[in-house]
Amino acid sequence: MNSKSFTRMARTAIACIALYSVATLALAEELRQVKLATSVGDIVVELYPEKAPKTVENFLQYVKDKHYDGTIFHRVIGNFMVQGGGFDAKYVQKPTRAPVAHEGRQALEKGLRNTVGTLAMARTSDPQSATAQFFINVKANGFLDPVVIPPGDPVPRFEFQGEVYTNTPRADLANSPRLFGYTVFGRVISGMDVVDKIKATPTGPGGPFGSDVPKTPILINSATLVK
Query: Is residue 138 assigned to a domain?
Result: yes
Q: Are 25 and 38 contained in the same domain?
A: no
DSSP state of 142: G
Query: Is residue 89 assigned to a domain?
Result: yes
When divided into structural domains, the chain yields a total of 2
pLDDT for the residue 161: 87
CATH number of residue 202's parent domain: 2.40.100.10
Over residues 127-134, the mean pLDDT reads: 98
Which pLDDT tens digit goes with each residue over 23-67?
A: 444 444 444 899 999 999 999 999 999 999 999 999 999 999 999
Beta strands in 94-218 (DSSP E): 118-121, 134-137, 155-160, 163-168, 184-190, 203-206, 209-214
> What is the CB neighbour count within 10 angstroms for residue 171?
10
pLDDT higher than threshold 50 for residue 134: yes
Q: Are 3 and 72 contained in the same domain?
A: no
Q: Global pTM? A: 0.85
pLDDT for the residue 10: 52
Which pLDDT tens digit goes with each residue over 155-166?
A: 999 999 889 999
Query: Is residue 169 assigned to a domain?
Result: no
